[in-house]
Amino acid sequence: MDSAQNARGEMLASDVILSEKFNAPKFITDFLQNVQSGEEARSLQNLRQTLAARSNSTAETIKDVVFDHYKQFIDTSKEISKLERDIYQLSSLLNEQKNLIENLMEMSGHDKRSSCSTSLYSSSSGVNQQNQQLQIVMQKMDGVASVLNSLGEYERVLLQGQFVLLDADSMLPKHSVYLVLFTNNLLVGHPTPGSVAHQRHPFSVVHNYPIESLALVNVKGVGTVTSDIGTNPSAEQHLVQLLVFPDQMFLRCENGRMKREWLEQMEEAKRRQQEERALVRQATIRARRCNLLSSIANRVPQEQRKKNRNNGQSKIGRAETTDNMTTEENGGDGTGPKGQRPMAANEEDTAWLNELVNELQDVISHRHMDEAVDMLLEWKSCQCKDASLNAKFAAIEKQVVELLTEDIKRPGSLHGSPRTLSQPIQQLIALGRTVYAVELYLRCRSVALRAAARELTISEEPLSYVRQVSGLFVNDILEVCQELSPHRDQLCQVLTWSSRELSVLLSLIRRHVIEVAPTMAVLTHTWRILMSKCAQLVPIGLDLSFEVNRLAAPSLKNALEANFGNILDSIRLRNSEERWTPFSLGTDQNLIRFLEEMSDIGLQIEWAICRPSSPSSSLSPLSPGAYRCALNLAQSGCLFARTALQLSRDLALLNTSPHLHQLSDSLMHSIWTEQLAHLTAGMHKSVVHHCTSRFIVSQVLPLCEKVYELSENGTGILHQLLSTKFPHLLHFQRKPSNTFLSSKSDSSEEVANV
């Protein structure tokens, strides 16, 4: 039996089952050889359970191993990401330091050349590096001497490198090319026929392209697999295309770094050349203008000296001169100085403006709006009399205004900050379109403001939404007023826009907060937040509180009345169910907690605690000894105290509103009248009624009046209300004291004890 079990164990070994020569039918046959007859099913079932258990344990082990490997992979990825970020930061820092050092070296080299220093130390490392670059170019390329001799003083080698020229159709490599990027041109060299790699001039100059006539673009998504590249997909991403109308060349870089450097340097060279040309163009235009003005100004002193010489002659000569001047003023033959000077000036102005038109069209084609606006201002200052020329400039000015308008209206013009619109707005203002520019700017700000308001989420806390949306609108109005403060002629536009945006704000608050039937506290605090935000506009001279009173007060008034109606109905319901029995708290802990809560809101009611009952006394339902841990106050009176105090705090926020002040007064008067009428209607000889009346009249209502800030000298609405409508409750105004309550009084109602 043991030998059979050992044989089965050897058969179930992992090496046997996992071997490549494993045969399942043969395995089952061998397994059943030593099994007794009739035990085959049970043995096979046991085998199945054993294999299933082993399979499950193996699966769990594999899961654990995979999980561990995945965890290690995640940790390794985090470390790699951190290292890549550090390497990127380090490379950026090194590039910045390199550029800074190069700039310092160039500046040092220029200063030393200008001072004509003969010191050996005066040649900076930047100049040495440039000389090395030139020597490399002369060694690599044949026929480059003429190009180098024609370089300007400030032209230098920006970049050079060897590429592989590809066939435009098949993308197969043809031969190597050598490119040298100068400040203003690009040299392309092809291999010298019959040359080898170690030869002195392996390349010859074939093309010399100016920078402005070419473009170097990135090439992506080339799916052809070349024989040189093989199956390496990364090599396909290192292609650039050199566009020189009407030709094009596909070039392959050695790596991605080389490709990125060439794309960046080419773009930087083109940008610098455009900036230099713009500066030269502006200087040329201003020089011509200055020469024109100086030539006109030089004529005036000459005529003045001639006039002085004529004044020094004899009276006859003076008379003749006067006659001549009179003749010239009357028209004459039109050959005098006053006839020649304006004509010459107009001719020179016209010639200069004709050249300015061409320059202006070139500037607009490159979207240089600053220069275009300066040129238009130059035209306006000339006061040209040529109608056709003025028509050309007017058409160009209209085109510039349309382009600036497109820049302002384009989607995303306010991305980043609203100050991105300052440049086109200032350009429109410079062209005399101030009203139009301000209107466009305010319109864009309105669109951005509404988009930002739509992104705000309306949470379960309505006051949070009120703070966010009101802060958004008011801060935007403040920012716009500060930005447009220099343009005081457009204050009416700004005021109209601010009022319109404030109405949008109030409509949002009315729709999402006021009209959804919130609590009284939410309504009053909404009003407080709005008024506090509007107060921020007062220092800049923009008081829009009247708009809040005009637009928000009606809807707020309706919501306040609806909420107050619910509060008044609940008070009436509790009063109708009142039986003037002591307010039982059940346990000492509940009693102490309730006393602390009432003390927190400013009400001291320890004097109203019921006296402990005596075991030998006979108890009646109305006797104070019948209740333990109770107060000689009606439950409706305690609930009214809390409700009235909270209502007073809420309505006190509306005292500053001229539209809601009377409403809040009437609401307070109504709730007080309701409670005092209830005390009057239920008057009878009861300790609970007596204590409740004293509690309401002497503590609750005066505290409400103080919180509501109606009475400053103690003779407010409460005193008038008691004197006119409830005079029989005036004797309850005296506050209860411990001395008064602890003294033995003849009245059976003075049994409340501390």
Q: Given the DSSP bridges, would you call strands 141-142 and 203-210 parallel, antiparallel or unpaired?
A: parallel
> Could you tell me if 671 and 565 are in contact, meaning their C-beta atoms sit under 8 angstroms apart?
no
Token pair 């008057």 is at which residue?
Answer: 683
Beta carbons of 668 and 651 less than 8 angstroms apart: yes
What the block records as the tokens of 232 is 């390496």
Beta-bridge partners for 252: 164, 239
Between 153 and 591, name the one with better pLDDT.
591
- Do the Cβ atoms of 346 and 354 come closer than 8 Å? no
Is 318's pLDDT higher than 50?
no
Helix (H, G, I), strand (E, B) or coil at 165: strand
Closest by Cα among 381, 446, 374 to 409: 446
Instruction: Provide the pLDDT confidence category of residue 106 given band limits of 50, 70 and 90.
Output: low
Contact 667, 719 (CB under 8 A): no
176 pLDDT exceeds 80?
yes
366-415: per-residue pLDDT in tens? Answer: 777 777 888 788 787 777 777 878 788 888 888 888 888 887 776 655 55
Lowest mean pLDDT among 1-15, 511-525, 657-671, 717-731: 1-15
Q: Quote the pLDDT of residue 317.
A: 46
- Rounded-to-integer distance, Cα 625 and Cα 618, Å: 9
Three-state secondary structure call for residue 410: coil
pTM of the entire structure?
A: 0.52
Rg from Cα positions in the chain: 49
Q: CA–CA separation, 107 vs 126, rounded Å?
A: 9
- In this structure, the strands spanning 173-182 and 185-191 are antiparallel
Joined together, the tokens standing for residue 41 give 């099913």
Say if residues 551 and 503 touch (Cβ distance below 8 Å): yes
Q: What's the pLDDT at 619?
A: 36
List, in sequence order, the alpha helices (H) in 115-152: 125-140, 145-149
Average pLDDT, the chain: 74
Q: How far apart are CA 239 and CA 217, in angstroms?
A: 9
Distance CA 569, CA 351 (A): 90
What pLDDT shows up at residue 282? Answer: 66
Per-residue pLDDT tens digits for 412-470: 555 544 555 677 777 788 788 888 888 888 888 888 888 888 888 777 788 888 888 88
In this structure, the number of other CB atoms found within 10 A of the CB of residue 352 comes to 18
Please tell me the predicted confidence (pLDDT) of residue 533.
87
Q: What are the tokens at 44?
A: 């096979």
Checking if the pLDDT of 334 tops 60, the result is no
Question: Residue 715's pLDDT is what?
Answer: 47
> Is residue 323 very low, low, confident or very high in pLDDT (cuts 50, 70, 90)?
very low
Mean pLDDT, range 4-23, rounded to an integer: 63
pLDDT at 108: 63
Give the model's confidence band at 749: pLDDT under 50 very low, under 70 low, under 90 confident, else very high.
very low
Q: Regarding predicted confidence, which is higher, 448 or 1?
A: 448
Say what the pLDDT of residue 366 is: 74
Among candidate residues 397, 293, 431, the one with its CA nearest the CA of residue 349: 293
At 315 the three-state DSSP class reads: helix
Residue range 695-739, pLDDT digits in tens: 888 888 888 888 887 544 444 677 777 777 777 777 676 655 543
One DSSP character per residue, 561-597 reads HHHHHHHHHHHHHHHHT-----EE-SSHHHHHHHHHH
Can you tell me the distance from the alpha carbon of 315 to that of 329, in angstroms, rounded to the nearest whole number?
Answer: 20
Report the pLDDT value the prediction gives residue 740, as an integer from 0 to 100: 35
Q: From CA 745, how far away is CA 690, in angstroms rounded?
A: 14
Find all residues with CB under 8 Å of 468, minimum gap 6, and list them: 456
Residue 683 pLDDT grade (very low, low, confident, very high; cuts 50, 70, 90): low
In which band, very low, low, confident or very high, does the pLDDT at 117 lie, cut at 50, 70 and 90?
very low
113 compared with 518, residue with greater pLDDT: 518
pLDDT digits (tens, 9 = 90+) for 472-492: 888 888 888 888 877 777 788
Indicate the SS3 state at residue 142: strand
Angstrom CA distances, 270 to 213, 214, 277, 381, 738, stand at 10, 9, 11, 33, 95
Tell me what pLDDT residue 572 has: 86
State how far the Cα of 389 lies from the Cα of 503, in Å rounded to an integer: 48
Beta strands in 610-707 (DSSP E): 630-631
The answer to whether residue 227 scores a pLDDT higher than 80 is no
Q: How far apart are CA 670 and CA 678, in angstroms?
A: 12
Comparison of pLDDT for 639 and 412, the residue scoring more: 639
Of 500, 507, 559, 496, which is closest to residue 530 (Cα–Cα)? 507
The closest alpha carbon to 262, from 288, 278, 242, belongs to 242
Q: Higher confidence at residue 65 or residue 347?
A: 65
Contact 722, 693 (CB under 8 A): no
Q: Determine the pLDDT at residue 625.
A: 45
Separation of alpha carbons 370 and 282, rounded Å: 11
Using pLDDT thresholds of 50, 70 and 90, give the confidence band for residue 661. confident
Assess contact for 717 and 668: CB atoms under 8 A.
yes
Contact 119, 183 (CB under 8 A): no
Inter-helix orientation angle 687-695/635-651, to 10°: 10
β-pairing, 203-210 vs 185-191, is: antiparallel
Torsion sign over Cα 464, 469, 471, 474:
negative
Average pLDDT for 632-639: 86
Dihedral angle computed from the Cα positions of residues 739, 745, 750 and 754, in that order, rounded to the nearest 10 degrees: 30
Q: What is the pLDDT of residue 746?
A: 32
Q: Three-state DSSP class for 32?
A: coil
C-alpha distance from residue 534 to each of 454, 495, 502, 547, 742 (Å): 21, 14, 10, 10, 55
pLDDT for 752 beyond 80: no
* Residue 41 vs residues 4, 32, 33: alpha-carbon distances, Å: 17, 10, 13
Supply the pLDDT for residue 743.
34
pLDDT at 221: 59
pLDDT at 191 over 50: yes
For residue 339, the one-letter residue type is G
Lookup: tokens for 555: 């809807």
Max intra-chain CA distance, the chain: 164
Q: Are 601 and 707 in contact (CB under 8 A)?
A: no
Backbone angles phi, psi at 210, to 5 degrees: -70, 150
Q: Is 449 left (phi over 0), alpha (psi -120 to 50) or beta?
A: alpha
Amino acid (one-letter) located at 10:
E
Indicate if the pLDDT at residue 322 is higher than 50. no
Which are the contacts of 281, defined by CB distance < 8 A and separation ≥ 6? 359, 362, 363, 371
Please answer whether residues 722 and 730 qualify as being in contact, where contact means their C-beta atoms are separated by less than 8 angstroms.
yes
